[in-house]
Amino acid sequence: MTKAIGFSAYGGADVLHPIEIDLPAPGPGQVRVAVRTAGVNPLDHKLRNGALTELFPLTLPYVTGSEVAGVVEEVGEGVTEWRPGDEVFGLVHSGGYAEHALVEAGKLVRKPATLGWEEAAAIPAAAETAWRVLDLLGVGNGQTLLVHGAAGGVGTLLLQFARSRGIRVIGTASEANHAHLRELGAVPVAYGDGLAERVRAAAPEGVDKVLDAAGQGDVLPFSIELAGGAEHVLTIADWEGAAAHGVRFTGGAETVHYHGPALAGALALHEEGTLRLPLHRVFPLAEAAEAQQESERGHLRGKIVLTVG
């Protein structure tokens, strides 16, 4: 058996509780990882509270967590690129809030010795999402991208990917995070009343594309107006608003797999010494409920991470 944090009914953070699950045996193409750290993402609390049951129906009890860093413990049939003892990080379908997790071998990359465990767990989901939305938006060199919620985990990596591609970014965030956005090359704009006017002042020529990574407030209508059409706007945080306004929602269900180039892109920035991965807060696994509550409150700078082993 191995320990995990999961939920047996939908609800608030208080439904999360310690559970024991069978020690998973890796099947063909899989790796069992002894988890050292796990990332916390907005998807986790949206799955827990039942907000996404139409999109992602779950079998309960369920253990959330889509990104882990740890040590390879056992490999399944056909896995030749990994062996026990390798230090790795990557994406998991579920089950990251646990002492052990099963991971597809191809969704792991080797953790450099120069990259800390907590930072490694902060990369996979944010990098994959950031790389995916830039591709889906089709934004490129010389264009202007507006990002709502630019200081969070996804926004932090997206800004760095965008800068390397010559994309100008205007990022909305609380004023406490404006210096952080400037350090990443973005033009910060404050949330709140008058947001549309402040964005127009920062980009009088308009914006080419918009990403909603916050899902807070009714930003989609004026984003559509600024970008010249709903086809130029993408959200990862407001699927109901997307349906209401004809905007595309992406939750990672596309047939194209972005994790490979995304993780390679993040590691390339790390090797250059330019990767910035602020950690908003680090919690022990036993305090996963508190970690999700912090995530739900929003206005993060970087990622929330759980320490496991």
CATH number at residue 99: 3.90.180.10
Classify strands 87-91 and 108-110 as parallel, antiparallel or unpaired. Answer: antiparallel
In a shared domain, residues 15 and 108: yes
Residue 73 falls inside a structural domain: yes
Judge residue 284's burial from the number of C-beta atoms within 10 Å of its C-beta, 0-12 exposed, 13-18 middle, 19 or more buried.
exposed
Residue 261 falls inside a structural domain: no
3-state secondary structure of 90: strand
In a shared domain, residues 143 and 154: yes
Across the chain, what does the average pLDDT equal? 94
3-state secondary structure of 304: strand
Q: What pLDDT does residue 183 have?
A: 94
Final residue of a domain: which of 249, 266, 286? 249
In a shared domain, residues 152 and 104: no
Q: What pLDDT does residue 63 have?
A: 97
Task: Count CA atoms closer than 13 A to 54's CA, side-chain side.
Answer: 3
Residue 29 falls inside a structural domain: yes
Q: What pLDDT does residue 215 have?
A: 84
Q: What is the pLDDT of residues 242-291, one digit of tens each?
A: 999 999 999 887 778 899 999 999 999 999 999 998 899 999 999 999 99
In a shared domain, residues 85 and 151: no
Residue 266 falls inside a structural domain: no
Question: Which own/partner pairs from 168-174 qualify as long-range (CB within 8 Å, at least 24 positions apart)?
Answer: 168/142, 168/143, 168/144, 169/144, 169/145, 170/144, 170/145, 170/146, 170/199, 170/202, 170/203, 170/207, 171/146, 171/147, 172/146, 172/147, 172/148, 172/199, 172/214, 172/219, 173/149, 173/299, 174/299
Residue 74 falls inside a structural domain: yes
In a shared domain, residues 7 and 112: yes
Q: What pLDDT does residue 60 have?
A: 94
In a shared domain, residues 80 and 190: no
Final residue of a domain: which of 206, 231, 249? 249
Residue 210 falls inside a structural domain: yes
In a shared domain, residues 107 and 130: no
Q: What pLDDT does residue 92 have?
A: 95
Q: What pLDDT does residue 52 have?
A: 84
Give the chain's residues under pLDDT 50.
none
Q: What pLDDT does residue 29 have?
A: 97
Find the domain containing 168 and state its range: 126-249
Residue 290 falls inside a structural domain: yes
| CATH of residue 222 | 3.40.50.720
The total of structural domains in the chain comes to 2
